[in-house]
Structure 1
Amino acid sequence: MTPPTHGFDTLQIHAGARPDPATGARQTPIYQTTAYVFRDADHAAALFNLQEVGYIYSRLTNPTVAALQERMAALEGGVGAVCCSSGHAAQIMALFPLMGPGKNIVASNRLYGGTVTQFSQTIRRFGWSAKFVDIDDTDALAAAIDDDTRAVFCESIANPGGHIADIEAIAAVSDAKGVPLIVDNTTATPYLCRPIEHGATLVVHSMTKYLTGNGTVTGGAIIDSGKFDWSNGKFPSFSEPEPAYHGLKFHETFGPLAFTFHSIAIGLRDLGMTLNPQAAHYTMMGIETLSLRMDRHVENAVKVAQWLEQDPRVAYVTYAGLPSSPSYARMAKYCPKGASSLFTFSLKGGYEDCVKLIDAVEIFSHVANLGDTRSLIIHSASTTHRQLTEEQQIAAGAAPDVVRLSIGTEDADDLIADLDQALTKASGPA
């Protein structure tokens, strides 16, 4: 099944999913196995030499996970995909073959707090570093990219503020500098935004969120556009002989699939960030209804955001689906079906009223997650973005007077009523 021949709604159900050849099972089975029997010694040798594609050991490849990978590649319009244990794992997996000691990435300053911490603190232990810039300032972006830069990183729709990145403009700068653009498409999902069509080299996901949609499992994915020249002199992992495979050159051997094969044969082999087959199964079932859920998420988010914007207790709302948002004009280009359902709002009563509001909600769940069918609420500055300085929190859209909402698929009127009663307890009647 090739992506150009089918619509999104068909692909989200059928891509990667074929009747099981052994039993005829229509739903992709959970292949709960560690290892796979080789046909003979020559078959085993060919698999280990990357001369034949197949299954060796489930740290590397698994039929259930492989089906999910094919589906993710189809939905994002990539040539291949690699699934792993979480969204954070996907980010490290994406950077792993690109980086080296002394190398850096240039990243948006409007990122999820955990990503900022991973890039500003954790990756230093590998000898890598990150520079954070206003991703809308393409001159600043270009100036930040130096001879040691190996990637540019942004989110299509930023968490938590809902800012929509100008992917084509960012990609133009990245291309001119000869480095790949990595776009985190978690908040938008491929139903609302397809970053590869706008110039992204790699797309990463926390599949834990909207893709699974039910808050049951964690998972991550990296989708490879297959369009980048890995032999431009900056990426020896792809262009130079690989000692572990007797001098094989990944880009020369696998062409557009160089990143995908490297991430499985070396990334998963040595980092071990494996997605288990049961999690892959749950995620595939979630994706089958992705477009249906996202339409409802967007519909509800517009209603709730419009109501909040007119409420006198609210200072501002950041939802990109509102005409008042600076990102509204970009929505038509990058997210024509809607701006997802993640956004923030500020209370005039400040931090204290934010805390009271969160403690007073009844339908909204106070959890550190997003993209669930259930509506979720959190105070980012004291939780998901707690590790950041106040200046970083403000830049990321997570100031102390701000609450983040992930609007679910419940009845929008019930969500509004819940927020109204909670706001009354926190800030008084409207």
Structure 2
Amino acid sequence: MTDAPAHGFDTLQIHAGARPDPATGARQTPIYQTTAYVFRDADHAAALFNLQEVGFIYSRLTNPTVAVLQERIATLEGGVGAVCCSSGHAAQIMALFPLMMPGNNVVVSTRLYGGTVTQFTHTIKRFGWNAKFVDFDDLDAVKAACDDQTRAVFCEAIANPGGYITDLDAISAIADEAGVPLIVDNTSATPYLCRPIEHGATLVVHSTTKYLTGNGTVTGGCVVDSGKFDWSASDKFPSLSAPEPAYHGLKFHETFGALAFTFHGIAIGLRDLGMTMTPQAAHYTLMGTETLSLRMDRHVENAMKIAEWLENDPRIDYVTYAGLKSSPYNKRVEKICPRGAGGLFTFAVKGGYEACVKLVNSLEIFSHVANLGDTRSLIIHSASTTHRQLTEEQQIAAGAAPEVVRVSIGTENADDLIADLDQALAKATA
């Protein structure tokens, strides 16, 4: 689709990156279940390994099924390229890997998925990296946290679990002033509700496991490159601006320009970290993207109706859905997520921790699982599960206090979901 930018989102989510199979004419993208690819001759092989020609070498690096998904997600996000990998957590490491060296830090929002908080608090220290956690509603604090060792700013567009919406324009201005890229996790919003690159993001990461796939079948991740950052403007990013010993002194930014980060992610990141997405996972996600806009519209419609019902229920202390007029983040919806505030939010149950546990155990339609973005409605008590490793102070900062449950509203009948919540709340607060 050479004229892809002229097409609407609904068309691109089906067609971007995909073409009839040249060998068979198959209209759906085939699952290329192969580890390796035959070279035309010795010169062809050498050109591929020297990064002088684009093609397929080995499926740890590139695979035709995965390549279609990469092009599709990059197109939907408005990026120049993308690298798919094995999970959302892998995507976060893949995004930081070309940017960070021992002693460097990343400034991150306190409102993040609990696993990300753990990854950034503990795991990245094994690489000699550090994370500075800041309330991203306090712009002065974000600016003050950026120092000479900062190499990136990281946040979620719609934060998990609370559904808080980040002021991406303000945060990107701070990142620009610091001379570092803004990395935005767009998992909860998807490119249908939010396009972070249009708000100044350099990189966008996804857990494709969630809304992009939409059916709870496979895990995956993706890093999308905006192609807009000047990696050679300073000496902060030698992996992209300086000679690369593994490729005879090739300079990624000088050689590949806007696609420098994408090529590095494949030629270095996937080569050495091996966080590869399988072709089967890519196939399932490709099928999921074909209905993304349809599903997201229904997620938003259902979430709004259920959030309004919960807000008016005397058994509930508060609801965090940004689509509600009472939300302090409501004014950001039109600017950041003009098609709606998503399908993810939390609510606090009167009765605290024990009432939350009873609620989860009493639901019939909602599934109690550690996932989100499914067509099925999902619920979890974050403080006892996904955010269990955090201190209570960290849980509260992340929006996962002990009296709070997180819901991912699916595409079922909204009245059925309300009835299920009603009967479960009656048992939980009896």
Q: TM-score, normalised by structure 1?
A: 0.99
Residue of structure 1 equivalent to 2:195: 194
Residue of structure 2 equivalent to 1:245: 247
Residue of structure 1 equivalent to 2:360: 358
Residue of structure 1 equivalent to 2:97: 96
* Partner Cα distance (2:176, 2:58) in 1: 37
Residue of structure 2 equivalent to 1:29: 30
How many positions carry a matched residue from both structures?
428
Confirm or deny that 1:299 pairs with 2:314. Answer: no
Residue of structure 1 equivalent to 2:176: 175
- Structure 1 unaligned segments of length 5 or more: list them: none
Confirm or deny that 1:112 pairs with 2:113. Answer: yes
Any idea what SS the aligned residue of 2:106 has? strand
The correspondence of residues 7-406 of structure 1 with structure 2, limited to 5 A, is 7-231=8-232, 232-406=234-408
Q: TM-score, normalised by structure 2?
A: 0.99
* Partner Cα distance (2:306, 2:142) in 1: 34
Shift of residue 4 of structure 1? 2.0
Residue of structure 1 equivalent to 2:411: 409
Conservation of the 8 A alpha-carbon contact between 1:86 and 1:208:
yes
One-letter amino acid of the structure 1 residue matched with residue 244 of structure 2:
E
Shift of residue 3 of structure 1? 4.0
Shift of residue 137 of structure 1? 1.2
Residue of structure 2 equivalent to 1:419: 421
Q: Aligned-pair RMSD on alpha carbons?
A: 0.5
* Partner Cα distance (2:82, 2:6) in 1: 19
Shift of residue 349 of structure 1? 1.1
Shift of residue 136 of structure 1? 1.4
Any idea what SS the aligned residue of 2:133 has? strand
* Partner Cα distance (1:242, 1:426) in 2: 59
Conservation of the 8 A alpha-carbon contact between 1:59 and 1:268:
yes
* Partner Cα distance (2:255, 2:86) in 1: 27
* Partner Cα distance (1:177, 1:409) in 2: 42
CA displacement 1:289-317 (0-9 Å, x = unmatched): 00000000000000110000000000000
* Partner Cα distance (2:374, 2:51) in 1: 39
Structure 1 pair 234–3 and aligned structure 2 pair: CA distance change class (3 A)? farther
CA displacement 1:139-173 (0-9 Å, x = unmatched): 11111011010000000000001110000000000
* Partner Cα distance (2:338, 2:146) in 1: 31
Conservation of the 8 A alpha-carbon contact between 1:347 and 1:353:
yes
* Partner Cα distance (2:100, 2:128) in 1: 9
* Partner Cα distance (1:306, 1:118) in 2: 34
- Structure 2 unaligned segments of length 5 or more: list them: none
CA displacement 1:110-129 (0-9 Å, x = unmatched): 00000000000000000000
CA displacement 1:70-105 (0-9 Å, x = unmatched): 000000000000000000000000000000110100
Shift of residue 5 of structure 1? 1.0
Conservation of the 8 A alpha-carbon contact between 1:356 and 1:425:
yes
Conservation of the 8 A alpha-carbon contact between 1:3 and 1:77:
no
Any idea what SS the aligned residue of 2:210 has? coil
Any idea what SS the aligned residue of 2:299 has? helix
Over the matched positions of the two proteins, sequence identity in percent amounts to 82
Any idea what SS the aligned residue of 1:307 has? helix
Any idea what SS the aligned residue of 2:347 has? strand
* Partner Cα distance (2:346, 2:140) in 1: 28
* Partner Cα distance (1:321, 1:47) in 2: 49
Where does structure 1 differ by over 3 angstroms across 4 or more consecutive aligned residues? none
* Partner Cα distance (2:378, 2:350) in 1: 21
Conservation of the 8 A alpha-carbon contact between 1:3 and 1:75:
no
Any idea what SS the aligned residue of 2:346 has? strand
Shift of residue 348 of structure 1? 1.4
Any idea what SS the aligned residue of 1:215 has? coil
Conservation of the 8 A alpha-carbon contact between 1:300 and 1:407:
yes
One-letter amino acid of the structure 2 residue matched with residue 286 of structure 1:
G
One-letter amino acid of the structure 2 residue matched with residue 60 of structure 1:
L
Structure 1 pair 3–390 and aligned structure 2 pair: CA distance change class (3 A)? farther
* Partner Cα distance (1:229, 1:188) in 2: 27
